Amino acid sequence: MIEGIAPATLLLLLIVTACATLGHLLLGRSWVQLPLFWLASLLSCLIAFGLQWRFPLDLPSPAGVPVLEAVLLSFVVMMIVSRLRV
């Protein structure tokens, strides 16, 4: 474990980076969009984590992070960002 970093923070950074990379592979048109996808993914994951948004399913949430909800919200926001003219 990296000293001084909370498990939730590390998990959120991993989710954000993985979602942004996959989103850019599927939806991206230029390299300029990659930082935008990463920021959109970060904001949407933080919203899902901050609001503790959960589906009425009995899914595990490691370190208190709603993984499925954060990933789904991230891809919805990245679809919106991909339609922007950049």
Identify the pLDDT of residue 86: 59
SS3 of the chain: CCCCCCHHHHHHHHHHHHHHHHHHHHHCCCCCHHHHHHHHHHHHHHHHHHCCCCCCCCCCCHHHCCHHHHHHHHHHHHHHHHCCCC
Interval 20-71: pLDDT, tens: 999 999 988 888 889 999 999 999 999 999 999 898 888 888 999 999 999 9
pLDDT at 2 over 70: no
pLDDT at 1 over 80: no
